[in-house]
Amino acid sequence: MNRRVAALDCGTNSLRLLVAEVRPDGGLRDLERELRIVRLGQDVDATRRFAAEALARTFAVCGEYADLIARHDVDAVRFCATSAARDVDNRDELVAGVRSRLGVEPEVISGYEEAELTYAGATDGLDVLGLTPPYLVADIGGGSTELVLGDGHGRVRAAESLDVGSVRMTERHLAGDPPTHAQVEGAASDVDVALDDLRVPLDEARTLVGVAGTITTVAAMVLDLPAYQPERVHHARLDVRAVHRVTARLLEMTRSERTALPFMHPGRADVIGAGALVLDRILARLDVSEVVVSEHDILDGIAASLR
């Protein structure tokens, strides 16, 4: 039997699992790909601590994933925790809970390593699309946004992680339902300040590749999908003007209106406006006409590191 690996990405908003088989050519074949919204980063921006209920939600999903992993008799498991876990004082509670349920030591990875793993996952297989490098990979998470510039798969030039994300910006600014113009302006200003200090040369990018739930959800809305369809989202090419229109619409909608969208994950409905706004502010600084969307991201990069 070919080698089997399990990768877990524990972010601010979601906990995801990929169980994959390593093919003879070194590629990966998905056996399980799962996502659960656990909102581990609930109130972390304000308290710098994991909430007890957020840890309970996360540990419940860890138990569920442990059963899935056991069914596939994997050879290696890697659990990576990202932005929220970097920001807290009670990280040991997460580490102990994950270790007891999954039997693996969770890694709290740096923003730079998060960015590199994201780039590795997102750019694998892009060559067939005939895109123009350098590629800028953007991963808008719940607590942070990773921006990585590179010349092709495995060739990173610069990478940085910014403390702006969909959950963080929602909790910090977008209290209204829908948010007020002043709240949106405050969130946009916060994102712009972070981008002003960015050390990744955005002006060198010729292709923007967007990954993770914010961008894939925006893609589903641009494509007007009747339900979430990953095969249509993967490698979709979105006109920048359409992305701007969708961002404005999401920020004008109430939470219940966003929840009613047929492609919307219910655990993302309250934060998608802030995530789309982060994407919108990034696009304002780029000389590109489209966003190329990838379903492959840090989760695939983690799995690839275990080959």
In the chain, the domains with their CATH numbers are 4-109 (3.30.420.40), 124-298 (3.30.420.150)
Angle formed at CA 39 by CA 103 and CA 8, multiple of 5 degrees: 35
Summarised one tens digit per residue, pLDDT across range 206-249 is 999 999 999 999 999 999 999 999 999 999 999 999 999 999 99
Angle formed at CA 21 by CA 16 and CA 22, multiple of 5 degrees: 115
In the predicted model, what is the mean pLDDT of residues 84-106? 91
Q: Return the SS3 of 285.
A: coil
Q: What is the pTM of this model?
A: 0.86
pLDDT band (50, 70, 90) for residue 130 = confident
pLDDT of 256 strictly over 90: yes
Summarised one tens digit per residue, pLDDT across range 68-82 is 999 999 999 999 998
pLDDT of 6 strictly over 80: yes
pLDDT at 275: 97
pLDDT of 123 strictly over 90: no
Residue type, 160: E
Summarised one tens digit per residue, pLDDT across range 177-208 is 999 999 999 999 999 999 999 999 999 999 99
Sign of CA dihedral 38, 237, 223, 289: positive
pLDDT at 72: 95
Strand partners, 10: 15, 81
Strands 290-294, 207-211: pairing is parallel
User: Residues, the chain, total?
Assistant: 307
In the predicted model, what is the mean pLDDT of residues 39-66? 93
